[in-house]
Amino acid sequence: MKLSVKKREIHGKKVKSLRAQGLIPAVIYGKHVKAESIACVKNDLLRIYRVAWYSTPIELTGDVDHLVLINSLQLDPVSDEIISADFLAVSKTEKVSAKIPVNMIWESQLEKMNEWKIMLVKDEVEVEALPQDLPSKFEVDISVLQTVNDVFFVKDLKVSNKVTITDDPELPILTVSVIEDEPAEWDTAESGEETQKAE
């Protein structure tokens, strides 16, 4: 996965001019590299982010040549659009830590009863691996929850021997919750009559 970038000399409030051109100001930093200011095409970054998330290594090309992970994206508080990005430079031969998203898949017989709901209580799990071995996501089959007492824990995740989960293995990822009944609506006519009688 590749992303073309170019070095930038524009900083501070002047980066608005970059955004007006459809570019996103960004920074690369890491243990073995000197911090660099760059810019990339907004639509290219969005396309890659939808696939790479924060755990898939990206090859930066153009003015710089680095293997990176998306470390963070800053969003506009009003429009929710990306306004800047931080990239973490990594090495193919050095392990890194990353938070991997958890997705629920398939269906649960419990939910079909309309009395229980499967709750995703932990949507990210932290792991350590070489950049190229990082999983893009964890998919958890919710059909494994068969009773109201079942819980799916971090320790229940299946990972390759190239990946080490660093989160507490006893943390729950999925639990079963009771669907609470909606509060009964008062009969306004009856409540009115009772008020009149009380008077």
Domains of the chain plus CATH, in order, are: 2-91 (2.40.240.10), 97-178 (2.170.120.20)
What digits encode the pLDDT tens for the residues 184-193? 454 544 445 4
**Structure-token match 């009003």, residue found:** 78
Mean pLDDT rounded to a whole number for the chain? 89
Give the C-alpha separation, 188 to 177, whole Å.
Answer: 32
Nearest Cα neighbor of 122 from 141, 146, 106, 138 is: 138
Q: Measure the CA angle with vertex 162, ends 157 and 167; round to 5°.
A: 45
Tokens of residue 4, six digits? 């073309």
What digits encode the pLDDT tens for the residues 27-46? 999 988 999 999 999 999 99
Residue 198 has pLDDT above 70, yes or no: no
| Per-position b or e across 64-89, b if 16+ CB within 10 A of its CB | bebbbbbbebeeeeeeeebbbbbbbb
pLDDT for position 185: 53
Residue with the bigger pLDDT between 134 and 115: it is 134
User: What percentage of the chain exceeds 90 in pLDDT?
Assistant: 77
Residue 167 DSSP one-character state:
S
- The answer to whether residues 135 and 173 touch, using CB atoms and an 8 Å cutoff, is no
- The answer to whether residues 161 and 129 touch, using CB atoms and an 8 Å cutoff, is no
- The answer to whether residues 163 and 97 touch, using CB atoms and an 8 Å cutoff, is no
Give the C-alpha separation, 2 to 55, whole Å.
Answer: 14
pLDDT band at 114 (very low <50, low <70, confident <90, very high): confident
Give the C-alpha separation, 133 to 143, whole Å.
Answer: 27
Tokens of residue 138, six digits? 């964890």
Tokens of residue 52, six digits? 């790479």
**C-beta atoms surrounding 144 within 10 Å:** 12
